[in-house]
Amino acid sequence: MRHHNLPITACILVTILLTLNIPSARADNPSLEEGPCYVIADTGDVFGKVENDGSITWMGSIPSGYGGGENLAIDPSTGYVYNIAGEPSGTYVKTPLIIIDPETVAITVVNDDTTLWDVDALAFNPHDGLLYAVNKYEKFNNEPGILQLVDKTTGVATKLIDLYFDGVAPVTGVDPHIDGISFDPKNGDLYGIYSGWGGPSHLVTIDMTTGLISVVGDTGAEDIEDICFKWNGVLVGALGDQGWIEGGPFEGLVVIDKDVPSASKLGVAYGPFTNYDVESFACTVLYSSDGAIVGGMLVPGYSSAVKGSMVLLFILSVIGASYVVRYRLTPPGNH
């Protein structure tokens, strides 16, 4: 009879082992599992949270002196919201890298001046956790931009490569440029939105090695100011105050089918007012400790301790099962 409790003991040990060293990328940030999205409006530098119906809950304005930023990115490892503020044009003479508290809109200045001119696109790659930006040498030069690597801890930018089209760039209004970038969480491909004032917005892909911009196609929408993949792999765009889709004006979010491509309204307009001119948009895409994302979903990464625990779990399960089998096959009276 002394062996009857061994399978139970093994099960208890298994339960204990399964609770040890579980990756905390999600456990430490339960509110981030749903992948909240945020925006910044150009009018008043107002920061807001995107609700499920596409409307915006406006939280407050970016502190004075740190507005003007037309980009937004969320760190996949922490959920911190980053922005390169300013746009050297008289009002602002510096472009600081800041972290925005999404609850209070208070900021932390990482670097008082990244020295990057006119940053319209900013995004973290959820596969490696690095921060990338696209900026221009100056406005109205009709160049698509420069791909930069930005150190999130120091704000120091390193030029990677000049971007270019293989052939003639699509006609898209005044001052066309890369207005937003985002990495596909499924495969790490870099997408961008190429927009101008008063013209169609084109979805493009960017080769980070060569700088080649390939046009996927016209989205059917105008004035898409920024794009971002959500945690589930859906590509969403934010329209500005000149937004136009489905035959009429619209200030709101759109879902972009990246394979067609085509854009369609996502819920209601920002509301309750118009002419906010949303220029920045970002969603949360977390990655595990091993940086694994499959199908746009977080795949738990296990430490070596957990992997070892799993091996031990298997061994204990086998031992426990063998005792159960032995007990059941032993004739009555011989237990």
In a domain, 185, yes or no: yes
Same domain, 272 and 147: yes
The average pLDDT across 73-82 equals 93
* Number of domains making up the chain: 2
286 & 164 share domain = yes
**74 closest CA partner among 158, 182, 155:** 182
pLDDT tens digits for 217-274?
999 999 999 999 988 889 999 999 999 999 999 999 999 999 999 999 998 898 766 6
Same domain, 317 and 205: no
* The predicted structure's pLDDT at residue 299: 43
Residue 28 lies in a domain: no
Pair 314, 184 in one domain: no
Higher confidence at residue 212 or residue 334?
A: 212
**Burial profile 17-47: b = 16 or more Cβ within 10 angstroms, e = fewer:** beeeeebebeeeeeebeebbbbbbbbeebbb
pLDDT band at residue 22 under the 50/70/90 scheme: very low
pTM of the shown model: 0.77
Q: Are residues 247 and 265 in the same domain?
A: yes
| pLDDT, mean of residues 74-87 | 90
| 40 and 145 assigned to the same domain | yes
In a domain, 26, yes or no: no
Specify the residue for token string 């791909």: 147
Q: CATH code at 266?
A: 2.115.10.20
Q: What is the pLDDT of residue 90?
A: 55
Q: State the maximum Cα–Cα separation within the chain, in Å, rounded to a whole number.
A: 95
pLDDT at 88: 59
Between residues 204 and 328, which one has the greater pLDDT?
204
How far apart CA 279 and CA 165 sit, in angstroms, is 24
Instruction: Give me the mean pLDDT over the 8-12 stretch.
Output: 50
Please give the backbone phi and psi of residue 188, each rounded to the nearest 5 degrees, phi first. Answer: 85, 5
Mean pLDDT, range 148-157, rounded to an integer: 98
CB-neighbour burial class of residue 276 (10 A; exposed 0-12, middle 13-18, buried 19+): buried
Report yes or no on 47 lying in a domain. Answer: yes
311 and 274 in a single domain? The answer is no
| For residue 174, pLDDT beyond 90 | no
pLDDT in tens, 90-129: 556 789 999 999 999 999 999 999 999 889 999 999 888 9
Ranking 61-70, 71-80, 109-118, 285-294 by mean pLDDT, the lowest is 285-294
Structural domain span for residue 283: 34-298
Query: 241 lies in a domain?
Result: yes
Query: Could you report the per-residue pLDDT of 245-260, keeping only the tens digit for each?
Result: 999 999 999 999 999 9
162 secondary structure, DSSP code: E
| Bond preceding residue 272 cis, omega within 30 of 0 | yes
- Asked if residue 319 has pLDDT above 60, the reply is no
Interstrand relation of 212-229 and 164-165 (parallel, antiparallel or unpaired) = parallel
pLDDT at 185 over 80: yes
